[in-house]
Structure 1
């Protein structure tokens, strides 16, 4: 897994200047020091600490985005573990299921189906 890369002060200053005091997601006006610089593509998914991969967000937008990032990171972790064989899949893959055996009816021998004589016929 990649190590988290923080933005340098210079890069943060460029991102803040580009945002011009507004949240870059919802356009809310931000007070000085209120915004949070965030990675567009998280470091865990291959994002870098560059101006192009950063944006200024309000606290509400940052919390929402971080929740979505965590889900995406966990999903990629699960996919990587399955692909590497570290975790066994819980069920068989769709293309590799065993076919069910064909159901065949086997009838008992005909001798067992001899009609039983009724009492009227038995007296003859």
Structure 2
């Protein structure tokens, strides 16, 4: 598979098209194995050292994100606490009502028998 990828690239980096010296190209997976990439020619590319280092850094970032999502979904990681930020604005206080000025009705005992007429 590596030989076929190198032959397809024809001595050039498939990302930046830089001309590669013999044995300078690095065969890399387009989609890494850990993220579901298959070991087939369609998933292989030949990169120069600089492009390969950049892509590897991006692959590591994507892999770590997938790991965090998997762990959160499986319950291995407890979800973060509540969001901290500005709360709703407090509304103006309603005016206080003097309850002693309201008319009252006499209370009756709920357990007292009513007189039948």
Partner Cα distance (1:62, 1:39) in 2: 10
2:2 paired residue number: 12
Aligned partners of 1:39 and 1:25: how far apart in 2?
A: 13
Give every structure 1 segment of 4 or more consecutive aligned residues whose post-TM-superposition deviation is greater than 3 Å. 102-111
- How many equivalent residue pairs? 94
Query: Which of 69, 72, 77 does residue 87 from structure 1 map onto?
Result: 77
TM-score, length-scaled by structure 1: 0.67
Taking the TM superposition and a 5 Å limit, the aligned residue runs for 1:45-64 are: 45-64=35-54
* Aligned equivalents of 1:41, 1:75: Cα separation in 2: 15
Q: Which deviations, in whole Å up to 9, do the C-alpha atoms of 1:9-39 show, x marking residues without a partner?
A: xx00000000000000000000010010000
Tell me, in whole angstroms, the C-alpha distance in 2 between the residues paired with 1:80 and 1:109.
58
- Determine which structure has the larger helix proportion and give its number: 1
**Partner Cα separation in structure 2 for residue 44 and residue 16 of structure 1:** 23
Question: What residue ranges of structure 1 are gaps of 5+ in the alignment?
Answer: 1-10, 94-99, 112-124
TM norm structure 2: 0.71
CA displacement 1:76-108 (0-9 Å, x = unmatched): 000000100110111348xxxxxx8x9765848
What do the CA deviations read for 1:31-55 (whole angstroms, capped 9, x no partner)?
A: 0100100000001100111110000
Question: Any stretches of 5+ residues in structure 2 without a counterpart?
Answer: 101-117
1:59 and 1:91 mapped to 2: Cα distance?
42
